[in-house]
Structure formats: structure tokens, C-alpha cells
């Protein structure tokens, strides 16, 4: 996993130089680093990456874009894993409401969020 982290960091540095810190491609790498940190058990680092990605996606695409909502869902998963159930529920509810609007109530992304909320 250290190798993966080094590769993501290298990609992030290059994208920040080429496109800037708030470009959506840069933010995708930020989100991926969050996933990696979560898998490594680095919860504070994961949360920081998810929050950065979320803030950037909200600016770039708005609060109800599917990429924004994916990051909201990731935060919900992180909070659940930390035992922060109220925070997890808030993230899942936000993700569910937005996903239902974006892709409909029967879409697999919506149903995945329903499952997470359960």
C-alpha cells in the first residue's frame, strides 16, 4: 500500500501543477487517496482527503452531482467505520436524497446508498 500511496501522491502533485488544486481530475485523485487512507486505517487523513474532494466537487459541479454524492457516501462509510453513527447517517441521507434526484429511486447507486443507510 505504500507504493500505491506514493503513486497517488505523485499523480496528485502532477495534476495540481498542471491543472490546479480544484480541477475535477485533481479532485478524483484526492478522493482516491481518501479511499486508500481509509483502507490503511488512517482515518484522519482519509477524512481530510474526502472533505477536500467534497468541497472542490461542490464548487465545480454543485451539491447534487453524482461525483459529489459519491464523496458524501464515502464520508458516510468512513464515519460508520469510526462509530460516528449520527454523522454517518447525515451523510447517507444527503447522498440518498441527491442520488434519488440525480438517477432515480431504482438505480443501483441509489439502492447502494439505501443499503448503507440500513
> Which pLDDT does position 98 carry in this prediction?
92
Residue 63's φ and ψ, nearest 5 degrees, are -75, -15
Which DSSP string corresponds to 14-47? HHHHHH-TTSHHHHHHHHHHHHHHHHHT-HHHHH
Domain residues for 85? 1-117
The 10s digit of each residue's pLDDT in 71-117 is: 999 999 999 999 999 999 999 999 999 999 988 888 888 888 888 88
Triad 91, 96, 48: Cα angle to 5°: 30
14: CATH: 1.25.40.10
Residues 6+ apart with CB under 8 A from 90: 76
Give the number of domains in the chain: 1
> Which pLDDT does position 56 carry in this prediction?
97
Do 66 and 99 form a contact (C-beta atoms < 8 A)? yes
> Which pLDDT does position 25 carry in this prediction?
95
Q: Inform me whether the pLDDT recorded for 1 exceeds 80.
A: no
pTM listed for this prediction: 0.88
| Residue that has been written with the C-alpha cell 439505501 in this structure | 114
| Residue that has been written with the C-alpha cell 467505520 in this structure | 81
> Which pLDDT does position 21 carry in this prediction?
95
> Which pLDDT does position 31 carry in this prediction?
95
The 10s digit of each residue's pLDDT in 18-72 is: 999 999 999 999 999 999 999 999 999 999 999 999 999 999 999 999 999 999 9
Do 73 and 30 form a contact (C-beta atoms < 8 A)? no
Amino acid at each position: 500500500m505504500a507504493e500505491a500511496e506514493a503513486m497517488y501522491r505523485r499523480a496528485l502533485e502532477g495534476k495540481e501543477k498542471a491543472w490546479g488544486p480544484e480541477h475535477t481530475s485533481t479532485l478524483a485523485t484526492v478522493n482516491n487517496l481518501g479511499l486508500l487512507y481509509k483502507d490503511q486505517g488512517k482515518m484522519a487523513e482519509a477524512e481530510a482527503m474526502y472533505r477536500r474532494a467534497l468541497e472542490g466537487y461542490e464548487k465545480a459541479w454543485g451539491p447534487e452531482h453524482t461525483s459529489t454524492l459519491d464523496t458524501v457516501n464515502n464520508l458516510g462509510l468512513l464515519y460508520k467505520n469510526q462509530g460516528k453513527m449520527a454523522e454517518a447517517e447525515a451523510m447517507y441521507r444527503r447522498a440518498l436524497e441527491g442520488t434519488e434526484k440525480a438517477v432515480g429511486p431504482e438505480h443501483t447507486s441509489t439502492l447502494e446508498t439505501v443499503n448503507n443507510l440500513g
